[in-house]
Amino acid sequence: MTNEEVFFKWLPEYSVNIKTIDDQHQELVNILNRLFVAVSKREGSNAIAGILDALTSYTRTHFALEERLMREAKYKDLIPHMEEHRKLITQLDELCNKHMMEEKPIYFEMLSFLKSWLRDHIQGVDTKYSAALQQSGFSVASWEREASAEFALMSASKKWWEVWKVA
Ligand SMILES: [Fe+2]
């Protein structure tokens, strides 16, 4: 895939200045790009179902970690943030059910929706909590050390990258 063809290009301004969270956001962007390629090349139902599964598992795990970070840092807007996560998970589940149960194709509009959702979420509420945490004096660095070890363990057991990295 050449640069011009990248569906969702990661830009430095998407950084929330927390490496673990940035890495996971980039991983979500990668999975969306992989889904875009699969849809464009009409890779078939099984391939797309596998990528959708990777997308939903990774999203759930990422949201859980982000919520834990906000909870541990006693972030005041945790509840509305969790509500945004919950809504997106419901939409993703609906998308997967439509694809798997009715075998309908994944539409490009849905990909555009996911791309805009992620970009707006990162640059909106994620940037807000990150700034608030860093201002409150919460030690993001020590939290990150703990979270990175936990995520390495989870990655080793789930292996979602094997699904979407096979182009
Ligand atoms: Fe978030």
Q: Enumerate the domain spans of the chain.
A: 16-164
Q: What is the pLDDT of residue 107?
A: 67
Ligand 1 midpoint to CA 42 (Å)? 31
In this structure, which topology does domain 16-164 adopt according to CATH? Four Helix Bundle (Hemerythrin (Met), subunit A) (1.20.120)
Start-to-end C-alpha separation, the chain: 10
Calculate Rg over the CA atoms of the chain: 16
Angle, in degrees to the nearest 10, between helices 140-158 and 19-40: 40
pLDDT in tens, the chain (167 residues): 554 578 999 999 999 999 989 999 999 999 999 999 988 888 888 888 888 888 998 899 899 999 999 999 999 999 999 999 999 999 988 888 877 666 666 668 789 999 999 999 999 999 999 999 989 999 998 998 888 777 777 666 655 555 555 44
Ligand 1 midpoint to CA 121 (Å)? 6
Q: Is the pTM of this model over 0.85?
A: yes
Ligand 1 midpoint to CA 63 (Å)? 6
Ligand 1 midpoint to CA 100 (Å)? 27
Residues 6+ apart with CB under 8 A from 160: 31, 53, 54, 57, 58
